[in-house]
């Protein structure tokens, strides 16, 4: 059999020819193909089903025009998409992102990752992703609401509780989900769990808002336990200032860690001696109003560095990149390692460039990919779907306990497939465990 590198390159040449210019998508697929292609080739059933080729060609992509009205009466036109990647193990499931950088390539990469992530949760969830190239920055609340309504007027034709269940992602929080759900209900005339991340007064699950960030920290606690360490006393550098970043910071603080940074695209907040809950609350308030992180109140003891990222700018042994894809390159990773990094857990989806991943691997950092470490959000979305289906609402304590169990379960599945040796290859473990589950389902169903 040709070696892994040749098999991967031959697969990727074909993929690049079929989807030219979709660099983010190629990056996400290549990492997985590298780790699982020999497993596919060693299995007659998986080879026959051509699982990797099926997974790297979404079931369908819906693209549509979104027309909405500004406050001054002018008309704006954006493009919306829903990428339905695979429903092999459950309804399509994955968030909606509103950002000017959203493109078909970005959503294909996110949908591809989501399939494997959702498989890792152990819940019956397929994968997909959607969004629009709409930039909410500088828009009034009424404009964002009208955009959400116009977006859902079209999207509602392609989703539903047993078919495709979107949720939030960048710039789509509980406020936007409320407007999206309201529009869905109006157009479809049905009240059911067609979207997750809803407010608790209309079917949302307790803890969905917190789940991704808290889940990242629960996962890190499992990683540290493999080294007989605890998170208490660790110095944790976090990038981002949104839902995932602030909840990861909160949970790390609650467990005794020293959180030394947060950041946004304008710059980084550095807290050499650690930041407190007051700082997190201030970040939430300022970001909630559409501001940036410059000018924190002096009493918070934060040092704002314009244009900087946390990496290498403060001593930290645990890194939680929680902002966006490819936010951390090889130089940033080297700088972070020089500043003491020993463990990386991805709160964002694919926050490391391929070169940064290689630097981390060579230095034998423990590195958990997003599809494992940030799966807590979609897992609680899965619980929201089952709560909606059964007409019940679980209390926060029960959901938090379930979240912890699910993250521990994912950690166990990943470690089991990570290969032998002292160093745990979390990337390989996550890719293999997610792939095996989906591949078994696809090959069992035959070519239809
Ligand atoms: N919300 C969720 O449940 C989940 C989110 N994720 C991923 O987590 C990441 C963050 O998502 P959310 O927190 O939900 O979004 P959000 O919209 O709440 O926050 C995103 C934050 O990142 C900051 N940001 C954007 N670009 C940046 C850059 N280049 N450098 C530094 N900061 C930057 C923004 O200022 C914003 O504060 C994304 O990659 C998303 O796909 C993953 C799993 C679930
Ligand atoms: O809760 C969900 O369905 C979406 C979560 C998501 O988009 C993600 O895991 O990246």
Residue 386 near ligand 1, beta carbon < 6 Å: no
Which residues participate in catalysis according to the annotation? 129
pLDDT in tens, 180-195: 999 999 999 999 889 9
Q: What are the sequence ranges of the domains in the chain? A: 60-191, 211-368
CB 299 within 8 A of CB 276: no
Ligand 2 atom at shortest distance from the alpha carbon of 110: 10
Residues 6 or more apart whose CB falls under 8 angstroms from that of 292 comprise 264, 266, 267, 286
**Local structure of 196: helix, strand or coil:** coil
Ligand 1, atom 28, lies closest to the CA of 265
User: For 391-410, what is the mean pLDDT?
Assistant: 98
CA-based nearest residue to 177, from 95, 242, 90: 95
363 annotated ligand-binding residue:
no
**Ligand 2 centroid, distance to 164 Cα (angstroms):** 12
Q: Buried (b) or exposed (e) across 268-305, using 16+ Cβ within 10 A?
A: bbbbeeebeeebbebbbebbeeeeebeebeeebebebb
**Ligand 1 centroid, distance to 33 Cα (angstroms):** 26
CB 150 within 8 A of CB 68: yes
**Ligand 2 centroid, distance to 6 Cα (angstroms):** 33
Residues 6 or more apart whose CB falls under 8 angstroms from that of 441 comprise 88, 89
Query: What CATH number matches the domain at 60-191, 3.40.50.620, 3.40.50.10860, 3.30.565.10, 3.40.50.720?
Result: 3.40.50.10860
Strands 303-306 and 92-98, by their bridges, are unpaired
Tell me the sheet residues that pair with 67.
77
pTM above 0.90, yes or no: yes
User: For 292-307, what is the mean pLDDT?
Assistant: 95
Residue 118 near ligand 2, beta carbon < 6 Å: no
Residue 371 near ligand 2, beta carbon < 6 Å: no
User: For 358-378, what is the mean pLDDT?
Assistant: 98
**So what's the pLDDT on residue 124?**
98
pLDDT in tens, 212-264: 999 999 999 999 999 999 999 999 999 999 999 999 999 999 999 999 999 99
Neighbour tally for 306: CB within 10 Å: 10
User: For 143-159, what is the mean pLDDT?
Assistant: 98
Grade residue 420 by pLDDT with cuts at 50, 70 and 90: confident
- Ligand 2 test: best mutation among 82, 92, 167, most atoms within 8 Å of CB? 167
Burial class (CB in 10 A: 0-12, 13-18, 19+), 372: buried
Residue 332 near ligand 1, beta carbon < 6 Å: no
**Ligand 1 centroid, distance to 47 Cα (angstroms):** 36
CA-based nearest residue to 377, from 117, 136, 126: 117
Ligand 2 atom at shortest distance from the alpha carbon of 165: 3
pLDDT in tens, 56-87: 999 999 999 999 999 999 999 999 999 999 99
DSSP 8-state assignment for residue 328? B
**Ligand 2 centroid, distance to 233 Cα (angstroms):** 30
**So what's the pLDDT on residue 447?**
76
**Ligand 2 centroid, distance to 139 Cα (angstroms):** 24
**So what's the pLDDT on residue 193?**
87
Under CATH, what is the fold of the domain 211-368? Rossmann fold (3.40.50)
Residue 238 near ligand 1, beta carbon < 6 Å: no
Task: Report the alpha-carbon distance of residue 86 to residue 55 in Å, rounded.
Answer: 7
User: For 194-201, what is the mean pLDDT?
Assistant: 97
Percentage of the chain beyond pLDDT 70 is 100
**So what's the pLDDT on residue 204?**
98
Nearest-10 Cα torsion for 291, 295, 297, 301: 120
**Ligand 1 centroid, distance to 405 Cα (angstroms):** 24
Residue 383 near ligand 2, beta carbon < 6 Å: no
Task: Report the alpha-carbon distance of residue 102 to residue 94 in Å, rounded.
Answer: 15
Ligand 2 atom at shortest distance from the alpha carbon of 96: 7
Asked whether this chain's domains 60-191 and 211-368 adopt the same fold, the reply is yes
Residue 203 near ligand 2, beta carbon < 6 Å: no
168 annotated ligand-binding residue:
yes
Angle between helices 277-288 and 243-254 (to 10 degrees): 170
- DSSP letters for 130-179: EEES---TT--HHHHHHHHHHHHHHHTTS-BTTTEEEEEBTTB-HHHHHH
325 annotated ligand-binding residue:
no
381 annotated ligand-binding residue:
yes
Residue 8 near ligand 1, beta carbon < 6 Å: no
**So what's the pLDDT on residue 2?**
79
pLDDT in tens, 97-113: 999 999 999 999 999 99
Grade residue 159 by pLDDT with cuts at 50, 70 and 90: very high
Residue 328 clears pLDDT 80, i.e. is over it: yes
* Ligand showing the shortest atom-to-Cα distance for residue 91: 2
- Average pLDDT value over all residues in the chain: 97
Ligand 2, atom 3, lies closest to the CA of 94
- Ligand 2 test: best mutation among 371, 381, 388, most atoms within 8 Å of CB? 381
DSSP 8-state assignment for residue 352? B
Q: Which helix (H) or strand (E) holds 419?
A: none
Residue 1 clears pLDDT 80, i.e. is over it: no
User: Measured between alpha carbons, how far is residue 138 from residues 14, 289, 306, 316 in Å?
Assistant: 42, 10, 20, 34
* Ligand showing the shortest atom-to-Cα distance for residue 95: 2
Q: Could you give the strand order of the β-sheet that contains 127-132, starting from the edge strand earlier in sequence?
A: 60-69, 75-86, 127-132, 92-98, 164-168
């Amino acid at each position: 059999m040709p070696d892994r590198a040749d098999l991967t390159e031959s697969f990727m040449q074909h993929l690049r020819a079929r989807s030219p210019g979709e660099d983010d998508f190629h990056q996400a697929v290549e990492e997985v193909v590298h780790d699982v292609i020999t497993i596919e080739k060693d299995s007659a059933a998986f080879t026959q089903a051509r699982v990797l080729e099926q997974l790297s060609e979404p079931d369908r992509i819906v693209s549509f025009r979104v027309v909405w009205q500004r406050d001054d009466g002018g008309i704006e036109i954006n493009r919306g998409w829903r990428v339905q990647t695979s429903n092999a193990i459950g309804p399509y499931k994955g968030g909606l992102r509103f950002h000017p950088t959203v493109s078909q390539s970005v959503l294909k990469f996110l949908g591809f990752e989501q399939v494997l992530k959702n498989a890792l949760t152990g819940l019956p969830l397929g994968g997909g992703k959607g969004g629009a190239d709409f930039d909410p920055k500088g828009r009034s609340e009424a404009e964002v609401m009208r955009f959400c309504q116009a977006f859902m007027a079209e999207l509602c034709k392609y989703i539903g509780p047993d078919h495709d269940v979107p949720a939030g992602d960048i710039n789509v929080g509980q406020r936007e989900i409320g407007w999206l759900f309201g529009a869905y209900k109006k157009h479809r005339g049905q009240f059911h769990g067609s979207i997750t991340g809803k407010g608790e007064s209309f079917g949302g699950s307790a803890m969905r808002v917190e789940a991704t960030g808290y889940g990242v920290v629960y996962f890190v606690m499992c990683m540290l336990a493999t080294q007989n360490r605890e998170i208490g006393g660790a110095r944790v550098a976090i990038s981002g200032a949104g839902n995932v970043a602030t909840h990861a910071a909160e949970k790390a603080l609650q467990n005794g860690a020293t959180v030394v940074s947060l950041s946004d695209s304008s710059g980084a907040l550095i807290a050499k001696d650690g930041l407190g809950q007051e700082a997190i609350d201030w970040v939430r308030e300022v970001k909630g109003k559409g501001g940036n992180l410059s000018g924190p109140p002096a009493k918070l003891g934060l040092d704002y560095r314009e244009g900087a990222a946390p990496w290498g700018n403060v001593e930290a042994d645990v890194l939680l990149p929680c902002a966006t894809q490819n936010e951390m390159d090889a130089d940033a990773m080297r700088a972070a390692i020089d500043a003491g990094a020993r463990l990386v857990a991805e709160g964002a989806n694919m926050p490391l460039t391929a070169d940064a991943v290689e630097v981390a691997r060579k230095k034998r950092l423990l590195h958990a990919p997003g599809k494992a470490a940030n799966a807590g959000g979609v897992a609680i979305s899965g619980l929201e779907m089952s709560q909606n289906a059964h007409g019940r609402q679980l209390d926060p304590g029960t959901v938090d306990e379930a979240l912890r169990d699910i993250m521990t379960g994912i950690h166990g599945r990943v470690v089991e497939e990570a290969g032998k040796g002292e160093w745990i290859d979390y990337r390989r473990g996550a890719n293999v465990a997610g792939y095996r589950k989906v591949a078994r389902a696809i090959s069992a169903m035959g070519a239809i």
